[in-house]
């Protein structure tokens, strides 16, 4: 049985973590399968949006402790290769050219928080619970740290990386880890609304915008940055998508990337 199930409906690829018996804790098999599923969705012209979910009661409990116990007995080179695979999975998620929406229910622990942080948009149940609990196991949230620090800031990480304490969905929202929290009976409607909004935007522009954010975030506001952003808009507005979008606006019709 696949540890990551992929379904494609009307341009929306749903990637469902599928180890509910372990609260979707990931091991080396799930890491590989999720990396491959994300890469495939990113390369598929028929995919417009990626939705990341967890099967069962939880979103993702982070690293499987049995897997970690096995890895502790491996050689240094084997440990490094395994850790590199985890880092590659997170980078593939972060760099996916398609918008990625994480839908969080139940618990998101450790690496599960990393998956949320590396996604573009996150919507959580108001009953969801989060933790960066690695330190309580004598570990550190190393591979997820670039994404979590970017999402919630270094100051919040100083608390939650060190205490490992659990925090509620409301705190995750306050910190900026998730964009919305919803009652369980409303979350699917909100997911559908956000997916609809994503499908209304041009796919090429979305991919370029994601790259733009990476280039501009924390970069010094110097002449090189100003020149690169000017070059970006000059290049994009002369492209096919911009011509179609502006033409559709004046013609009072939907652009051709919006499916009726």
The set of catalytic residues is 134
Least Cα distance to 13 among 4, 2, 22, 3 occurs for 4
Other CB atoms closer than 10 Å to residue 73's CB: what's the count? 8
Tell me the CA distances in angstroms from 43 to 55, 95, 163, one per residue in order: 24, 12, 39
Of 134, 6, 110, give the one whose Cα is nearest residue 60: 110
How far is the CA of 56 from the CAs of 17, 36, 60, 150, 216, in angstroms?
Answer: 9, 22, 10, 29, 38
């Amino acid at each position: 049985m696949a540890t990551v199930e992929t379904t494609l409906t009307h341009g929306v690829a749903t990637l469902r973590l599928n180890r509910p018996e372990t609260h979707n804790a990931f091991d080396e098999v799930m890491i590989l399968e999720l990396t491959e599923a994300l890469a495939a969705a990113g390369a598929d012209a028929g995919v417009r949006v990626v939705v990341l979910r967890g099967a069962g009661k939880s979103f993702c409990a982070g690293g499987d402790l049995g897997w970690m116990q096995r890895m502790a007995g491996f050689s240094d080179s084997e440990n490094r290769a395994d850790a590199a695979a985890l880092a590659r999975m997170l980078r593939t998620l972060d760099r996916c050219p398609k918008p990625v929406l994480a839908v969080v229910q139940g618990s998101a622990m450790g690496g599960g928080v990393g998956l949320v942080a590396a996604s573009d948009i996150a919507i959580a149940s108001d009953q969801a619970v989060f933790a960066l609990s690695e330190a309580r196991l004598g570990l550190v949230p190393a591979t997820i740290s670039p994404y979590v620090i970017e999402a919630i800031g270094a100051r919040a990480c100083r608390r939650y990386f060190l205490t490992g304490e659990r925090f509620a969905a409301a705190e995750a929202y306050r910190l900026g880890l998730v964009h919305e929290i919803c009652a369980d009976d409303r979350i699917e409607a909100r997911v559908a609304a956000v997916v609809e909004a994503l499908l209304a935007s041009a796919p090429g522009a979305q991919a370029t915008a994601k790259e733009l954010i990476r280039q501009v975030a924390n970069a010094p506001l110097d002449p090189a940055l100003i020149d690169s952003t000017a070059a970006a808009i000059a290049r994009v507005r002369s492209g096919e998508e911009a011509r179609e979008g502006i033409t559709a606006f004046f013609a009072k019709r939907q652009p051709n990337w919006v499916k009726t």
